[in-house]
Amino acid sequence: MGFLSRKSKFMSTPVEEPHPIIEELQRMEEAVPERAEPDRPAGPVAAVDSSSSQAAGEESTAAPPAGGTVTAVKPAASVSQAEEAQAERFMPRDLLAPSRHEGVVEEPKVEVPTKHADVIAFANQKGGVAKTTTTLNLAVALAESGYRVLCIDLDPQGNLTMSQGIDPDKVEKSLYDVLVNDMPISEIIQKREIDIAVASIDLAGAEIAMSTKIGRERSLEKALKEVIGDYDFVCIDTPPSLGLLTINALTAANKVIVPVQCEYLSMRGLVQLQNTLKMIQDNLNPDVKIEGILPTMLDTRTVHAKEAVEILEENFGDLVFKSRIRKAIKFAEAPVKGASVLKYDSGSSAANYYRELAKEVLANESS
């Protein structure tokens, strides 16, 4: 009886509650109308997308009576439009999943480097050390090797211009017009053994005329941009001073060759040139450097000349060129004929001195 009188107790089974995210998904999906078949009436209308129905040109249905259920049948003409709109619609579950859209990756543009000329300034504040002779004959030696060379006569004396048979007193346009009046440098270039931008005595007043010009130290550098791609080498002959014209040359150049007569007074100018070059590197042209120091007018018969070369090599080491420019009467005779020594006497020792120097310069270029 006790067993029979015992009331049966119902065991409660745990009910799994849906995850809140799942419920939210269901509510969101119910809010989106299901795609209706063409000839089947749609289910109870839960919500009407007024914007889509107006865009498709559908007629709005009347409000259902209280307690009733209204089934709406879409016109056949609007079914396809509704399907297209539904096909473009993202479902909520699709929005939760990340979709990766691979963008178009553009290949980096490869810039072809433009070949620019090596601009070499020949500088020494001491006069009479063969700057002009070295500028012209090295330029012609480089041209003999097949390179395109431009010489620039930045010396108001115009010796480089005269050495190519051009009278600097008769030229109508010169570097004065380029530096002071911003004339294109191509208008003053004349073709001789090499192309040469000519000088005139007017250059003596260029420093005063440029004194109030903004960016006056870069006047030559800006002028060379017009023709820098037409040449392999640009050789600049500078005046025997460290004034504004020489500063223009050092600012435009990337290399400096220093001709040094093998005498004590000529070698003293090296210290001042180094100080000026350091100033240029700090303020105007950080890329300029000394390419080499060239012993010129060497007379190997004297002990003083030999000692001068030894002092150069001890103090400057590898900066001193192995080539030596020895004294020769041909260097004085060639300008009278308006030619370089390589044209005046091609087979002479004097011509070969500069051919050897050209080989050394080109070897340094390739190393």
339 occurs within a structural domain: yes
Range of the domain at 291: 118-366
The strand pairing partners of 293, in sequence order, are: 258, 320
60 occurs within a structural domain: no
- Our count of domains for the chain comes to 1
349 occurs within a structural domain: yes
pLDDT values of the chain reduced to their tens digit, one per residue, 367 residues: 444 444 444 455 555 566 667 777 677 767 665 555 555 544 444 444 444 444 444 444 444 444 444 444 445 555 556 555 555 555 555 555 454 444 445 555 555 445 578 999 999 988 889 999 999 999 999 999 999 999 999 999 999 999 999 999 999 999 999 999 999 999 999 999 999 999 999 999 999 999 899 999 999 999 999 999 999 999 999 999 889 999 999 999 999 999 999 887 777 778 888 888 999 999 999 999 999 999 999 998 899 888 989 999 998 999 999 999 999 999 999 999 999 999 999 999 999 999 999 999 999 887 7
Cα three-residue angle 122-123-129, rounded to 5 degrees:
95
87 occurs within a structural domain: no
* CATH number of the domain where residue 336 is located: 3.40.50.300
Would the pTM of this model clear 0.85, i.e. be above it? no
84 occurs within a structural domain: no
Nearest Cα neighbor of 234 from 196, 272, 187, 271 is: 196
Nearest Cα neighbor of 93 from 184, 140, 30 is: 30
106 occurs within a structural domain: no
Task: Please tell me the distance from the alpha carbon of residue 117 to that of residue 121, in angstroms, as a whole number.
Answer: 12
Residue 7: the pLDDT is: 46
96 occurs within a structural domain: no
Determine how β-strand 233-237 pairs with β-strand 255-261.
unpaired
How many whole angstroms from its chain centre is CA 44? Answer: 71
85 occurs within a structural domain: no
DSSP string, 276-287: HHHHHHHHT-TT
